[in-house]
Structure formats: C-alpha cells, structure tokens
Structure 1
Amino acid sequence: MNASNYRLGAGGTLEVVLPCQDYAGSLIAEESRARFECFRRHATTVITMPYRNPSDQAYLAAGQAMVDRCDHLFAVWDGRPARGIGGTADIVTYARARGRPVTVLWVDGVVRV
C-alpha cells in the first residue's frame, strides 16, 4: 500500500478520529487493518474517544467529534435510519442541527448488506 495515495492534493491534512482505544482490534479483515494503519501513520492528528472498546456510544462520540472539527460533512450514506446509536443517520442529523453543510454520497446500485 502506497501512503502517497492518501495525501490530499490541495494541501490539506488528514485527521483521524477513533471511537475507542482498541479500534484496530475490531477490524477483522487484514486488508482493513493495513489500510487503517496506513491512514493512522500519515495523519497529522489522531484523536481517540475515551472508550476502551467499540460500542454504539463510542461511535456516536467519534462521529460528533468529527462533525465538531469539520466545516462540511461528506457522508457515505444510503439515507436510511441508523442501525444503532451512532450510525451515519445520527451523525448527519447532528451535523445538520449544528448548521454544517452536508453532502450525501451514495453510488447508484450499491445496497446495504
């Protein structure tokens, strides 16, 4: 994996917001862990929520922290309700309530599994 693929061409920086201390351990696929580690290594800032393990509350806190740090939220979302607390629908609602512009991205033909 080439880390330069993840650099922002417009001179931006990459910030990572983690829902918990053991987030990497929750990633099952080796490819997912490798991609995550690459992002984390190249981030200028890594923020970890005060949770030891993944949970709905940890994901909600991470999503809210991300919105609080952004100027515009780009959400990969199918428009459906969250399947648990802290899902994409909750974060989009939080962003809109705080007056953040939200752009929803969803590829035609992709379905939630």
Structure 2
Amino acid sequence: HKHQCTVWLDKKYKEAKEKLGDEDEEVLRQAFEIGRLCFAQDKLDDAEVYLSEALRLIKEVWESSHPSHHSVLQNLGMIFRRRGQPKEAAKLYREALPVAKHD
C-alpha cells in the first residue's frame, strides 16, 4: 500500500515538473517531500534520487539560498548514515553547517 502512495506522488511530481518547470518552488517542495517519505519507508535509493534532485534544484535554481537547503543536506546525510557510509554522511553534515547560519 505504501508503495502505491509513492507511485502516485511520483506521477504528481512529474506532472508538476512538466507544467511548472524547474524554477517553480512547488517542484522543489514535492521532490523534498517524496524524498523524506521514501526515507521514512526505508526506501533509501528512492529517497536519494528525490533528495539529490531537490539539492540540484536548490543549487541551480535558487543558487544555494533556499530555506530547505539545510534540511535537504541533513536528510541526504541520514541516508548515507543508515547505509553505513559515515564519511559520506559527515561530508553532507559539514556542508549543512554553514547553510544553517544563513537561514
């Protein structure tokens, strides 16, 4: 059942992306939300896909100055930590530190 939810959200996300384009904040918000949802369901690969996409949008569209930048980095860090890749996780947490001060 949970999986259907992600499929539906993915469809919604792709539609939003097509209709609104990368510049729209709604697209970023959805990528972030779906990423967090997948993480909560322990679907780490899916979560990484969406959160990486959210991070790409933040860097390219918002020039790294979006309020959710910090959370996206932290969530990606949590994925790596859960996978047992503490070095990767630490890198993302370090990147998130200066960002937190901007918010």
The TM-score, its normalising length taken from structure 2, stands at 0.33
- 1 or 2, which has the higher helix percentage? 2
- Greater RCO (CA < 8 Å, at least 6 residues apart): 1
Asked which structure has the greater CA Rg, the reply is 1
- 1 or 2, which has the higher strand percentage? 1
The TM-score, its normalising length taken from structure 1, stands at 0.31
